[in-house]
Amino acid sequence: MAAAPVRILLISGALRDGSVHTAALRTAVALDVPGVDAVLYDDVAALPHFNPDDDPMDGTPPVPVVALRAALADADAVLFSTPEYAGALPGAFKNLLDWSVGGGETDRMHAGWINTAGPAAPSGAADAHASLRKVLGYTGTIVVEEACVRIPLGRDAVGDDGTAGDPRVRAQIADVLRALAAAVDVARAAA
């Protein structure tokens, strides 16, 4: 019997329609990598501002938060791609991460990230990724180092369909998906 596909939830930290971060994740969906079910979460902007009072232990959080947590609970792994703003994570993306802490869905979940920063950003959003790693540590998420890569992607490399067409970029993104899937498969076999 064939193993169930590894469901990877893709989350962009950018809200802009033409974001190269979102384009990298759209490309991941379009690749249709065997053994991987890549699903793009695109409701970051719908999440209300995080307020612990809106997340009661014995109640229900706001509907967009319920949907986010359900998407995370349905996933075996998560793949992020986020820009860095003012040396940190973008506010809307940090808000999503704050909502993910209380639900516990990412505990023991495998995660990685694609950094699309080009040569003009020599640090490669290192501060944002250091902050992301710190938050993921609080939630018990397992960072898969082989799935944390820098794949420079300029806006001019994104086609009208919102994906990257360069075969090298596509191959690198596929490698990230395979690395996450492999980590999940190893965990499944050990369970």
| Dist. CA 113–CA 50, nearest whole Å | 23
Which pLDDT does position 120 carry in this prediction? 64
Task: Return the pLDDT at 1.
Answer: 57
pLDDT for the residue 17: 84
* Cα-Cα-Cα-Cα dihedral sign, residues 161, 70, 51, 141: negative
CATH classification at residue 173: 3.40.50.360
Predicted local confidence at residue 6, as pLDDT: 98
Would 27 be classed as within a structural domain? yes
The answer to whether position 161 is within a domain reads yes
Q: Give the whole-angstrom CA distance, residue 181 versus residue 191.
A: 15
Q: Say if 1 falls within a structural domain.
A: no
Whose tokens are 């995660």? That residue is: 111
Structural domain of 90: 6-190
Segments of the chain with pLDDT less than 70: 1-2, 119-122
Tens-digit pLDDT profile for residues 3-56: 799 999 999 999 998 899 999 999 999 999 999 999 999 999 999 999 999 998
153 domain-assigned: yes
**92 located within any domain:** yes
Domain total of the chain: 1
Rounded CA gap, 160 and 169, in Å? 16
Q: Rounded distance, CA 147 to CA 48, Å?
A: 29
CA distance 34 to 2: 12
The answer to whether 72 touches 106, Cβ cutoff 8 Å, is yes
- DSSP letter at 91? H
- Answer for the pair 9, 37: CB distance below 8 angstroms, yes or no: no
pTM of the model: 0.95
